Amino acid sequence: MAVLSQDEFFVKLTELFRSHDGKDHGEVFLTQKRFTAGDTTTSPCDPAEPPKPAPILIRATDGQSKDDRASKIKFSTLVQPDDLDSFYARYAEVCRAGMATLKPRDRTKRRKNKKKKVGGAGQTSMRAVE
Amino acid sequence: MPTYAKSEDWLLQSSLLLEARPETTRITTRYTIRPHIRRTKKSSPPPSSSSDAPSTNPPRGHLELKTYDPVSGACLKYRTVKLAEVGRLMQLLGNRLARTQAGVPVREDGEAGEDVVMADAAGEAGSGVATPVGGGGEKGVADKAAGGGGGGGGGKGRKKKGKR
């Protein structure tokens, strides 16, 4: 698994999202965890010791199984603690742009509700007249 | 393995889990696209519906956020289909959770961040589950207004109807 620079990571992530364009199924997995260079076995968790600043490892895959390992897309990047803000601002942008099949902010719903309200008011007034 | 209905709940529990185990906990963001399956009526002929559905209905996607700690086995989930939430959630992943993971103190300009959360939460409630309640409330208001407009007589008539 290649560890990429942030710029390369974003380019590949955009590609990964774009590869699902026009398809009716697919998945993108993004995982983030603290990057500990192999010292997890020594002290998995020590509450007394405050955690030292460590980079964040971000992995992205297309969710293919082991059987499709040849075609599996899998890449990752490391984010240093100082870069977190700038990285996540871009990350959020790329994700929002890529997740096009999610429901956009719905305006038609409001209109329908308005209609309903008008209809409801009409009915009640009718009842009042009766 | 709880799935939270509100992103704030998920965020709170996740940050607690991360604070407890910053070294092993990981956060997975899963974006899934699935074909939009229309729940058709049984009477409609299947061939026509199957040919129409893919062309007219775009695939539906959803986003699932999962905080998982393999040591304790704790797993917290949040699921959404709203595009409007994605930007905010990803920002929260960075500003709050990734900072905890990285061992950097979470920035104390939390007021602005929380304001954003609150505003979005209100928006969610408005567009989501709470809508019928709001509609009902306004209907009630309209009802009262109509009753008032009709005068005392109208009000009495309606009361009698209610008793029957």
Q: Which residue has the higher pLDDT, B69 or B137?
A: B69
Q: Which pTM does this prediction carry?
A: 0.64
Chain B partners of A31 at a C-beta cutoff of 8 Å?
A: 26-29
What's the CA gap between A16 and B31, in Å, rounded? Answer: 11
A32-42 in b/e burial notation, b at 16+ Cβ within 10 A?
bbbbbeeeeee
ipTM: 0.72
Of all residues in chain A, the one with the smallest CA distance to B54 is A24
What token pair was written down for A68? 């499709």
Question: pLDDT at position B43, please?
Answer: 57
Tens place of pLDDT per residue across chain A (130 aa): 678 899 999 999 999 999 988 888 889 999 999 988 765 554 555 555 666 888 999 999 998 888 888 888 999 999 998 889 899 999 999 998 998 888 887 676 666 666 666 554 544 445 555 5
Q: How far B33 CA lies from chain A's nearest CA (Å)?
A: 5
A-B CB pairs within 8 A amount to 185
In the predicted model, is pLDDT for residue B27 greater than 90? yes
Decide if B83 and A103 are in contact by the 8 Å CB cutoff. yes
In the predicted model, is pLDDT for residue B74 greater than 80? yes
Q: Any CB–CB contact under 8 A between A39 and chain B?
A: no
Q: Tell me how many degrees the CA angle A59-A64-A66 measures, rounded to the nearest 5.
A: 100
Decide if B24 and A45 are in contact by the 8 Å CB cutoff. yes
Give the one of B26, B82, B135 whose C-beta lies nearest to A32's C-beta. Answer: B26
What's the CA gap between A33 and A35, in Å, rounded? Answer: 6
Interface of A with B in 69-128 (CB under 8 A): 79, 81, 84-85, 87-89, 91-93, 95-96, 98-106, 109, 113, 116-117, 120-121, 124-125, 127-128
Q: Which helix (H) or strand (E) holds B76?
A: strand B74-80
Decide if B142 and A120 are in contact by the 8 Å CB cutoff. yes
